[in-house]
Structure 1
Amino acid sequence: MPKFIVERNIPGADKLTAAELCDISAKSNAVVDGLGVPYVWHHTYAAGDKLYCVHEANSADDIYRHAKEGGFPADLVSEIKNTFGPETANQAA
């Protein structure tokens, strides 16, 4: 199943309280449970006025459906084609 990065513009995203994060997470989990399609929310990063979420789904349409049903913005949905980090420099070409 492809992985996607979802950019959500939410003013003050990096200042959301623990209670707000709990509520958002519970809503997202409930929507995932009700989608009826394979779907995994991995994690979310809060940075400035944005949330960056990593989700697995069969298509971007499923991501947009999750956002719509949850009442979340989904300003940009991009399929993740590759991941790499510092250890990648040690791999043979």
Structure 2
Amino acid sequence: MPKFVIEREIPGAGQMTPETLQAVSQKSCGVLKNMGPQIQWVQSYVTDNKIYCIYIAPDEATVREHASQGGFPANSVAQVRTVIDPTTAE
């Protein structure tokens, strides 16, 4: 199943309280549960003004539907084509 990186522009994301992040996570998980097992949230990285999310889904449309249902921005959705790390250099 394809993996996607989603860029969400959220001004002040890095200043969100743990309670706010928990509420956002709960909303996302609720939408995922309703959409079924074909889409999975792997993890997210919170920066100053953006959240970068990793999802596994059958296609970009499914990722965008999750964002729409959850009320989350999905400013950029990119399919991961391959993964490299330091061992790639060996």
> TM-score band (shorter)?
over 0.9
Ranges in structure 1 where 5+ consecutive residues have no aligned partner:
none
Q: Deviations over 1:63-82 (max 9, x none)?
A: 00000000100000000001
Ranges in structure 2 where 5+ consecutive residues have no aligned partner:
none
Instruction: State whether structure 2 residue 32 is matched by structure 1 residue 40.
Output: no
> What corresponds to 1:13 in structure 2?
13
Task: State how far apart, in whole Å, the 2-side matches of 1:82 and 1:22 are.
Answer: 30
Q: Deviations over 1:36-77 (max 9, x none)?
A: 350110000011211000000001000000000001000000
> What corresponds to 2:69 in structure 1?
69
Runs of 4+ in 1 over 4 A off after TM superposition: none
> What corresponds to 2:79 in structure 1?
79
SS at match of 2:77: strand
Instruction: State whether structure 2 residue 60 is matched by structure 1 residue 57.
Output: no
Task: State how far apart, in whole Å, the 1-side matches of 2:37 and 2:67 are.
Answer: 14
TM-score, normalised to structure 2's length? 0.96
> What corresponds to 2:88 in structure 1?
88
Q: Which of the pair has more CA radius of gyration?
A: 1
**Equivalenced residues, count:** 90
RMSD: 0.9
TM-score, normalised to structure 1's length? 0.93
